[in-house]
Structures are given as C-alpha cells and as structure tokens.
Amino acid sequence: TEPSHFFGRSELINTMLKSPFQVRILLGGRRLGKTSALRAVEWNLLNPNTKYLRRAFPVLINLQLEQPKDLDNLRYLLIARLREAIESWRKVPITEICQMYREFLTQIQSGEIAVNFLTQSGIKFNINNSDSEKRLNNDSFRLAFLKTTEELRKIKFQGVCFLIDGAEYIVRQNW
C-alpha cells in the first residue's frame, strides 16, 4: 500500500479525488486490490498539496474486523473511527479533554463500592452503567457528526469520506 508502489489505478483514484463526497461501490473478487485502492485514496485525500479544492477527510473502516452488532453500534463505530483518525492527524486540544472524559465514562460497564465500617461483612453496592454499550442513536450520531465536521472545516477539510472495507458484512445483517 506504499503510494510509490501503487500503480495502474490512477484513473479510478483521480475520479474519487475529484468528487470524494459521492457514494461509490468498488466490487471485485478476493486479492484484486480493493483494500489497496482504498488505502491509496486515503493517502491522496490526506495529501495537503492536492490540486482538488474540495478535500474530504478519509476514514478507513474494515467492517469484517469491526463487525457491528446493529445499526446503533455501526453509527458509534463511524464516529469513533472518525475521531481516532482526526486525533492521529493532530493532537486533541485541551478544550476537548472534558468532553473526552464524559465519553470515557460511558464506556465503563460497571463498578463496585464496598463499605466496611458498619458491619464486619460490610455492605457492597454494584452499579451498572446503562450507557456502557458502544452505541449511538440517530440523533446522537447526527450531533456528533455535525460537531466533528465543523472541527474538520477548521483544519481545511470540507467533509468526511468513509472508506468502508468489507461492506458485505452489513449486507448479510437483518438490520
């Protein structure tokens, strides 16, 4: 997937770079280079010296590895991988730490508190966090996506291009 070794698909890549906000489906058998093509698009979209004015921030997601459980989990994965990609593109500013901490708290599944001063056996409280599943409903996804795209505009990207590898995983799901 090294860009200097990628050749033979420049027309496909240029087409995708010209209009990165259109939906495209790349079909082909195993070992034909679909993932390599997605990597090449990802690399080219991140290139700050591109000749194209409308830049999309690329987010490569392999659904065969992620295997979302339902639509809410898929929405969560889209936002989570988008945030991870942005964070690896640049460091998160201090102002985001509070929000990140609140999001971290939703990932804690449960906790236990033990109080031993009243009796020898003590009292235990188990607390389960109902928000621990990695899920986003449509409204939460929409708000998170809008906030993130606004952040992308500040770093000179006009939107997001989700590069979804293994999309056939979704097609096989009932949801």
Mean pLDDT across the stretch 158-173?
Answer: 92
List all residues 6 or more positions away from 38 whose beta carbon is below 8 Å from its beta carbon: 26, 60, 163, 165
Mean pLDDT across the stretch 122-148?
Answer: 77
Alpha carbons within 13 A on the beta-carbon side of 93? 4
Q: How confident is the model at residue 109, as a pLDDT?
A: 52
Q: How far is CA 163 from the centre of its chain?
A: 10
List all residues 6 or more positions away from 144 whose beta carbon is below 8 Å from its beta carbon: 79, 136
| Structure confidence by residue, pLDDT tens digits, 26-78 | 888 887 888 888 988 888 888 878 788 889 999 999 998 999 999 999 999 99
| Structure confidence by residue, pLDDT tens digits, 86-109 | 988 775 444 554 555 455 445 545
pTM for the full predicted model: 0.70
Q: How confident is the model at residue 12, as a pLDDT?
A: 85
